[in-house]
Amino acid sequence: MATTVPKGYNSDVEALRQKEYSHMGHGVYLDHSGATIYAKSTVDGFASKMVTGLYGNPHSENSPAKLSGDVVDHVREKMLNFFGANPKDFDLVFVANATAAVKLVADCFRDLAERSRDRKFWYGYHKDAHTSIVGVRELTYGQSYCFENDEQVEEWLQYPENALINRANPNGLGLFAYPGQSNMTGRRLPLSWSWRARHSESLQNTYTLLDAAALAMTYPMENIFQDPDRAPDFTCFSLYKIFGFPDIGALVVRKESGHILTLRKYFGGGTVSMVSTFGDSPWHRSKGLQAPTYKLHEGLEDGTLPFHSILALDEAIDVHLRLYGSMKNISAHTSYLIEHLYRGMTGLRHGNGRPACHIYSENKNFRNPNKQGSAIAFNMLYPSGSYVSYTDVERTANDAGFYIRSGGVCNPGGIASLLGYEPWMTERALSAGHHCGSGGIAVLHQFPTGIVRVSLGAMSTRQDVDSFLDFLRSTFVNTDKDAGLLSAAPTLRSISSNATLEREIDLEMAADINTAPELYTLTRKRSPLRHVPFLSHLRRANKPGMRSPSLPQKNISSGLPSVIR
């Protein structure tokens, strides 16, 4: 009897895993938002080209150099076509990664703003932005604003002259940046904002920058670029998130807006047609300002391009299209898988009825690819409702062969808003010794400082999802109906010795685990249960290997080190 294939799921991927991705057989890879996995055919095809062709520096004029130059021009147009961006309307600048693309745009705006009266430009960014987007604010001399939600952006676009967004001159030079998809939760943001900003009479000097690094991995970008009038002015990509290899990025520039980037100060090799060195007023001529003799990208790609990586990109595009057909197919496939994972995780409950998993999301429609990408942010919960250390979850998963990511995932605004952190709480965490990356404090005053993220890709399978769900169930779910409130894991404290914080959870409210931590009420009261010594966070409560009484014997988390207390 034939097996029914769920709608949207690409069962052919299961065969591809054996033929093209045998190197994934050492575990279950669930960190595609960091970098997806490359196909064997891509590496084989690239290696064949490398050993049969002779490629030189494209800045030279000899035959090997000309071959490299032709490859670069061909792949540039090929990549634009892959995105559904007409080369007549868009140009593509090769960069190291999405962060390099963001910095290139930011530097151009900083340089141009120095020619204005106040020597500043305004910068607005969405709270879901990646750290690299947030960092642009340091170039604005304090004239930046973080939109805390979609509604604030909508209000600003509708009534820009009335918005309180730290903008001294509403008609001055401005840049608004936001992610197409949160790299933390996978939530997809409205793609209409660029068009609305462009057609606002009050925002004619405000440009838009879309961070598509997370979005483009499983989303058909032709939906964005098919109408140049609705497309962002600048869109940045990390192409290894789409193809796995090579490690290269791109900045897609709307040609009608690109001229603003040509006014930057810095120039590198290959971006100028002539440079004077001596004299009282040395000068240079940027290729970016000499259209149509030179194209926009020729004035922005500093130094020798990674032409071997671009050669590999040529192979990667061909293999990707041959294996998957289109990004629409990948979108349907990953949308099915992420909803399947979401439903499975929301169904994880301890024996006492409490949820075992807290999913962080502002979106409940995980099957709609316009609303949700292929990532989920979460934390595991003890039967008491207290949080399992996200570092312990990742460590245990890694030991079991599940490769995920945990921590702040380079999304400070998403962490702060969805975990319920106010500015003073972030400063307290810093003063207590917490920092991003390994070695930070996972749980502070009973609140997590980060999350666990699982992300799926084009080559993910239903078996990957089911195996991970089985791992969570067998490791972190306590089937004991009598598991009580007092079996919470120890947490870091910096409070007086005669006080404790206890979490009071309403069972009915806890049933909806998709809400932010505000569903928990923190109350301060004297604890008759134990005495917490002052500055007890300077030592560990339990030695590694001691099992929490809240976990059943079968759980492999019995060997976890305790959270710092």
Active-site residues: which are they?
Answer: 410
Residue with tokens 């009598």: 482
Helix (H) or strand (E) run with residue 342 in it? helix 327-346
Residue with tokens 């634009």: 80
| Calculated CA dihedral for residues 376, 520, 471, 18, nearest 10 degrees | 0
Residue 523, classified by CB atoms within 10 Å of its CB into exposed (0-12), middle (13-18) or buried (19+), is exposed
| Calculated CA dihedral for residues 293, 294, 299, 303, nearest 10 degrees | -120
Could you give the CA distance from residue 266 to residue 206 in angstroms, rounded to a whole number? 23
Largest Cα separation within the chain, whole Å, is: 85
Could you give the CA distance from residue 234 to residue 256 in angstroms, rounded to a whole number? 11
Q: CB of 160 within 8 A of CB of 203?
A: yes
* Residues ≥6 apart with Cβ < 8 Å to 447: 387, 419, 420, 421, 425, 517
Q: CB of 189 within 8 A of CB of 181?
A: yes
Of 350, 351, 332, 352, the C-alpha closest to 340 is 332
* Residues ≥6 apart with Cβ < 8 Å to 256: 89, 228
DSSP classification of residue 563: P
DSSP classification of residue 217: G
Could you give the CA distance from residue 42 to residue 59 in angstroms, rounded to a whole number? 26
Of 236, 225, 202, 215, the C-alpha closest to 99 is 236
Concatenated DSSP letters of 150-178: HHHHHHHHHSTTT--SS-S-TTS-EEEEE
Q: CB of 89 within 8 A of CB of 122?
A: no
Phi/psi for 324 (5° steps) reads -120, -10
Angle in degrees, CA 330, 332, 334, rounded to 5: 65
What SS3 class is residue 358? strand
Residue with tokens 């604890």: 527
Residue 65, classified by CB atoms within 10 Å of its CB into exposed (0-12), middle (13-18) or buried (19+), is middle
Q: Tokens representing 403?
A: 């490769």
